[in-house]
Structure formats: C-alpha cells, structure tokens
Amino acid sequence: MGVTFPRIQGADIVGKVVELGEGVTLEILNQRVIVYPWVRTAKFAEYEHVGSECYGGFAEYAVVPATNTYCINSNLSDTQLATLSCPYSTAENMLTKARVSARDTV
C-alpha cells in the first residue's frame, strides 16, 4: 500500500517516558529509554518501521509500543545514543553487504 503523507519521520528515538498507555507497567514511567524502531504488527512476521509506516520521533512527543522501549543508563547524550538504532544498523548492513574486512579502509 505504501507510505501515506504527511508523515512524521524519525526512527532514532531516545528520551524519557512521560506517559503510559493502557496495560503498561509503571516501571518505565519517567525512565530514560531507547526505542527499537521495528514494530511488529498484528500479523505474524510483519513489521512497521517507526518514522515510515507509523509516526516517528521528529516531534515533541512520540508514541511507540512499550515492547519497543528499553531503559538505558548511559553517560552518552540522547543524540549519541540515537545513532545506535537506525544509522548504526544501516551502516553495519552496508559494510556487511560490501564484505568489508579488517584489510579494507573505509
């Protein structure tokens, strides 16, 4: 079906949980979290990507399933941590597909 517009993009989400949806346990409230951007849909083995098929984090607030949030305790900034979920995995995938090894310079 394709992506519909307008769409709030942004798969790279790190921040503080300020509100919980129905049925979510209180443990993550007010905690710093990083978001895994691949959201499993109701259909087995189908996914939506945050910022593509569903609204993303380039907004003041974002809504994601609690199952995609992971509490994180790090001295890295939110910006630094946000590079781990989407940009890092994209770069790693490109290096793997190009079969880059320790002998190569990138």
Selection from 84, 74, 60 nearest residue 31 by Cα: 74
- Asked if residue 71 is part of any domain, the answer here is yes
* pLDDT digits 0-9 by tens, 27-73: 999 999 999 999 987 777 788 889 998 899 999 999 999 999 999 99
- Domain boundaries, position 59: 14-97
pLDDT, position 1: 62
How many structural domains compose the chain? 1
Q: pTM value?
A: 0.79
- Asked if residue 105 is part of any domain, the answer here is no
Q: What is the CATH number of the domain that holds 89?
A: 3.90.180.10
Structure tokens at 65: 């399933």
Q: Which amino acid is at 45?
A: A
* pLDDT digits 0-9 by tens, 84-102: 888 888 888 899 999 999 9
- Asked if residue 36 is part of any domain, the answer here is yes
Separation between Cα atoms, residue 105 and residue 31, nearest integer Å: 39
- Asked if residue 55 is part of any domain, the answer here is yes
